[in-house]
Amino acid sequence: MSNPVTATSSGVDPFTAEVIRSAVVAITGEMKTNLMRTAYHTIIYEAEDFTVGLFDADGNTISIGLGLPMFIRGLSDSIKSKIAFWGRENIEPGDILLTNDSYTMGSHLNHLIFTLPIFNEGELIAFSCSMAHWQDVGGQLGGVTRDIFSEGLQIPFVKIFRAGKENPEITSIIRANVRVPERAMGDMRAQLAAIRTGERRLMQLLKRYGNQAFKESIRLVYEQSEKLARAAVRQIPDGVYEADSFMDDDGVNLGKHIPIKVRVEVRGDEMTIDLSGVSPQVAGFYNSGPTAGRSAAEVVFKCITAPLLLPINEGSFRPLKIVLPPGRIVSATKPAPVRVWMTVPMTVCDTLFRALAAACPERTIAGHYADLCTVNPHGFDPETGRFFWSHIGHPGGGWGAKHDEDGMNATVCLNDGDTHNAPVEATEAKNPIIVEHRALRQDSGGAGKFRGGLGVSNEVRMRRPATIHAHVERTICAPWGLHGGKDARANRIFITRENGKIDRFPTGKINSTEIDKGDGFTVETGGGGGFGSPRERPPEKVLADVRSGYVSLEAARCDYGVVIHQQGRRFELDVDATDEVRAGDKSQDREADRGDDTVVDVNEGGQGHKMTVLSNES
């Protein structure tokens, strides 16, 4: 969806402004492509775990090519911090600014952010920036880290290039602290190529239209995006909306749930998202910096206001106020561990959608499985003596249903957005594993008028001895349904030994465990919650689900009240029996109309999480 700009008193004609708007979107697209095609690690070129963008001279977002939605704020915040650290007067042409500070960008140390200032005619006009996930940055292998110092190399604000010349000492420090330096340096060169692509293309634009026309056009893009966002907020009823959920535990205090409570207030054309009720930072490595908390709020705001509007830019978020005190699990302070930073913000997003379900059901979505569900076997290959770290890729899982559409099956979780799972053939060729099967998980999607998406069962067997550890979340707090929709099945993981013995675990947390050649592990990702009463789903759609293997005969009858008979490979709908079953279930009371000071439970069958409307003003 484009964001056409209109003429104002600035003097920039709308045609020029629209050309520049489209150009910055295209530039960030080319930056993404170049980074993906030149990187060395599969997590970048296959999974696309990276983000690139263009930013104005103040660090505000002009356009970002998102790989990770949760990095919607990270690049901008990092640039603003770099400006504050050096000062504009000390940033020169040819400098490349680097950091992986977790409390600045919000995520773990594996994310290195390279920033290149763009000057034209002696004036600082913009920044070109890239973040990518490095497979290894040193630190502890496996186990649960308890502070940032055990998680790898920390890079403060440094100039890895100064006035166009590389600082070899900094590069040497990085090389000395990673386990596979040749690949790490390849990824660094790919990131440098991406930001130089952004610089080159933007300079072409500046040479053609000039600095002033460019800056005025970007100002118009900001203003138009703000107008559209405010118009969308005005369509949401004024009121205060709350919801809560929880995470399983922090990997240290096992069994102690981590509460997630959110509050949303809508007044006119402005929205306030208050994350004060989210858990304090924890002992385990599920914390994230404040940028991650703000990003979670902005992702939800973007989704409910103008999800397809491009470019994603600063103006889109001006109607949003975020309340996030320091010291929360999504605004952690040093030295809190952050290695698995990505998990909690996803559930914060889901909970925000749940809070808004009563206010704008047509814009929200039921809960999803909300975890990467990855396991990375590692060790030393006895044949080569080389260290290996197997990136198996994200198996995908079920997304929640919407008010008019079933949830998506086997889709990458919210945090990782545009990232992909790696092809099985490529994974097996580069790692000592065999993927025994990858299949949709029957009945994992929550039942509803619109069914939740299905999760995935992914079984991997080792060809070499290895060490595995897992930090899969949301194995207890299942993805919830909305407006009478049912909960989905939760995530889970287990180990299968070569002799057939199965090791099961109370949650998805597995401390460092040795597995032998021939042993395997299975990750079963959760589905998405349903939307609306399952008894309102047309029987013909239930029949199609059964024929596709999405829903079992038993679930069709118990959850949907649909009777289907199987004869061999044929499935036939019994219309009379279905009518009889559903007629017997119509005694349920309908939800009372909402009014002032009412409490509404939009998840009639949910457990462990709730949503309330504290007030609603028309």
Q: Which of 142-146, 157-161, 504-508 has the lowest mean pLDDT?
A: 142-146
Asked if residue 172 has pLDDT above 50, the reply is: yes
- Averaged pLDDT for residues 492-500: 95
Which CB contacts under 8 angstroms, 24+ apart, belong to 16-19? Answer: 16/209, 16/213, 16/217, 17/216, 17/217, 17/220, 17/221, 19/209
The pLDDT value given to residue 601 = 44
In this prediction the pTM is 0.91
Query: Pairing relation of β-strands 320-323 and 270-274?
Result: parallel
The pLDDT value given to residue 433 = 93
CA distance 9 to 7: 7
Asked if residue 282 has pLDDT above 50, the reply is: yes
Higher pLDDT, 217 or 70: 217
Asked if residue 29 has pLDDT above 70, the reply is: yes
The pLDDT value given to residue 538 = 98
pLDDT digits (tens, 9 = 90+) for 288-321: 999 999 999 999 999 999 998 889 999 999 999 9
CA distance 235 to 227: 13
The pLDDT value given to residue 310 = 87
- Averaged pLDDT for residues 337-344: 95
Helix (H) or strand (E) holding 36: helix 14-38
The pLDDT value given to residue 458 = 95
The pLDDT value given to residue 163 = 96
pLDDT digits (tens, 9 = 90+) for 393-443: 788 999 999 999 999 999 989 887 766 777 888 888 888 999 999 999 999
3-state class (DSSP) for residue 400: coil
Q: How confident is the model at residue 611 (pLDDT cuts 50, 70, 90)?
A: low
The pLDDT value given to residue 421 = 76
The pLDDT value given to residue 344 = 97
The pLDDT value given to residue 391 = 74
Q: Which of 18-22, 88-92, 588-592 has the lowest mean pLDDT?
A: 588-592
The pLDDT value given to residue 381 = 85
Domain boundaries, the chain: 14-226, 365-536, 538-585
Q: How confident is the model at residue 609 (pLDDT cuts 50, 70, 90)?
A: low
The pLDDT value given to residue 418 = 65
Q: Which two tokens stand for residue 593?
A: 């109309």
Average pLDDT over all residues of the chain: 91
Q: How confident is the model at residue 9 (pLDDT cuts 50, 70, 90)?
A: very low
CA distance 279 to 391: 31
CA angle 314, 318, 321 (to 5 degrees): 125
pLDDT digits (tens, 9 = 90+) for 38-61: 999 878 887 788 999 999 999 999
The pLDDT value given to residue 169 = 97
Asked if residue 3 has pLDDT above 80, the reply is: no
Asked if residue 575 has pLDDT above 50, the reply is: yes
Matching residue, tokens 């047309």:
538
CA 20 → CA 52, 165, 213, 214, 529, distances in Å? 18, 31, 9, 7, 41
Number of CB atoms found within 10 A of residue 465's CB: 17
Query: Pairing relation of β-strands 433-440 and 387-389?
Result: unpaired
The pLDDT value given to residue 614 = 56
